[in-house]
Amino acid sequence: MYVDALHNEKELLQQIAQGNETAFRCFFDHYTPLIFTFVERLTRSKADAEEIVQDTFMKIWTSRESLPFIDKPGHYCYVIARNKALDNMRKIARDQRLLDQLWLSFSGEEDNSLENELQSQEYYQLIDQALLRLPRQKQLVFNMSRREGLSHLEISRRLGLSKSRINNILVEVLKYIKSFLEQHSTLIAVSFWISSWDKLL
């Protein structure tokens, strides 16, 4: 019945608007492969595409009362999916800028002075200490990004996570490391002062 109803989508949309989950499943099964292919081409990420497709149909279901007024259901699905994909890509770009700012905030400008070199060694030791306090997955994502130099897309493909999830993990890790370093910055200064004073004695 519902497969045949696809030839009369107005009727199918009317049933979905009334809360008919079987009709919605028919609609979902028909459009999901098409929307997934479209979104995957935009995001170049299978994991991101899967999330966006789920969000798209969740939006359609929660707004189902408006479906009887939709003239082109396929176009309606594509527009929602496209907007969600663009929102996702904008968020990833914002997160990337935040990641870069966070990284610079405690890596600092390049300086070859002895003082900076010694303090950098202390900082990297503290970064290692901070990482050990984090869950294994967060350690792995950080090391793949900052130490192996992998892109977010490469990491997402290796771990089977969406790029947005990789971004979120890195933001969380860098914020934690920044906070950890700030808490221990006094110790670094004191340690350097003591080592410098010892050399003068």
Q: What is the pLDDT of residues 66-117, one digit of tens each?
A: 999 998 999 999 999 999 999 888 877 776 666 666 566 555 544 444 344 4
Q: How far apart are CA 143 and CA 133, in angstroms?
A: 14
Dump pLDDT digits (tens) for 11-23.
899 999 999 999 9
Q: Write phi, then psi, for 113 (nearest 5 degrees).
A: -65, 155
Q: Is residue 86 part of a domain?
A: yes
Task: Count how many residues are written for the chain.
Answer: 201
Q: Is residue 148 part of a domain?
A: yes
Overall domain count for the chain: 2
Could you tell me if 150 and 182 lie in one domain? yes
Q: How far apart are CA 169 and CA 145, in angstroms?
A: 11
Q: Which domain holds residue 82?
A: 2-90
Reported as a pLDDT band with limits 50, 70 and 90, residue 163 is confident
Could you tell me if 61 and 115 lie in one domain? no
